[in-house]
Structure 1
């Protein structure tokens, strides 16, 4: 890693570790290697959102050209959100793309990602299926997002009715995660989800 990038990222890493604001927001950052090129982030789901109580892991890769180019960030924890791929964890956020500025820091990125969980941008989606549900069926979206938070991010809200539907599809021989994705995609309609899995 270039010297400027290495020095800058070490300073920013220490800033995040020592920041009281970051600690209050339940945000953490860890090294994956000694070169500061790969980091693991952790953000808590914000209060009053379907992600409340969940803990979401992030994979952060620092490019050689940092801080002139943004870090590459993706969600490791599966999440149901219009701006985050439910399949790959890829994130659609302007500061991770064309709105990045060299003055921005890892702290900015982590706090912005947590804010994104509070304020989705469904008109600029990463996951079109989730964005459609968010716009057209807000209550189903919230229930699905809470369910995913419970299942994948250790969230507190158990959705027994939804789990029963996943079990029903598993009983038909479908793999658990595929069944959950099909049901989530098909607004928890068993027949449509079954058709989706068979097609």
Structure 2
């Protein structure tokens, strides 16, 4: 990687490390300045509150003139983030990137996205549909995923017991949770979907 890019990344790294705002962190992965691990805290008064979300950040050779490639490692239920791959639909990570933006900008923007979803421009159509048509179920599901995958504080015994019922039938835990989420926590529909 070009020296200019490495110097820029090191400066940005310090900027994020000094920042105490809104629970954002960054660290080098694999002793390689082009592979970073980010962490953002779930924003207050959202279903993600209390969760810690880990991000994979890969910087191209042409950074900062091209955006970093970022995806969620921590599973999350959000219209603009794939519940399967962690891919993110956010304009600054694509065509709205500017060389003046920094990793701090990226992390803060992702945190803002958690607080203000854009369901009309989804990455995950199933989640976006639930967000728009069954918002209470979306909130329940997002809280449950935050609890299950991001160490959130939510206590949702109904979701936990339905997930456990499917696990007891021999279904993988994530698959059970995923199908229940897509079937709006209807155990009968989820079971039919899995076994037929």
Q: Which TM-score bucket, shorter chain as reference?
A: over 0.9
Determine the C-alpha separation between the residues in 1 that align with 2:190 and 2:37: 34
Compared with structure 1, are the counterparts of its residues 166 and 34 closer, same or farther at alpha carbon in structure 2 (3 Å cutoff)? Answer: closer
Matches for 1:149-168 after TM superposition, within 5 Å: 149-168=146-165
User: Deviation per CA, 1:157-188, whole angstroms, max 9, x where unpaired?
Assistant: 02101111111112222111111100000000
User: Deviation per CA, 1:42-93, whole angstroms, max 9, x where unpaired?
Assistant: 1000000000000000111111010110001010100000001111111010
Q: Give TM-score scaled by structure 1 length.
A: 0.96
Determine the C-alpha separation between the residues in 2 that align with 1:35 and 1:3: 13
Residue matched to 2:17: 17
Residue matched to 1:39: 36
Deviation at 1:10, TM superposition (A): 1.0
Determine the C-alpha separation between the residues in 1 that align with 2:74 and 2:32: 24
Question: Gapped runs of 5+ residues in structure 1?
Answer: none
Match of 2:195 among 181, 194, 198: 198
Residue matched to 1:144: 141
8 Å Cα contact 1:6/1:35 also seen in 2 = no
Deviation at 1:34, TM superposition (A): 3.5
Residue matched to 1:180: 177
Deviation at 1:198, TM superposition (A): 2.5
Deviation at 1:32, TM superposition (A): 1.1
Deviation at 1:126, TM superposition (A): 0.6
Task: Find out whether 1:83 has 2:80 as its counterpart.
Answer: yes
Aligned residues: CA RMSD: 1.0
Aligned length: 196
Give the 4+ runs in structure 1 shifted more than 6 A.
none
Q: Give TM-score scaled by structure 2 length.
A: 0.97
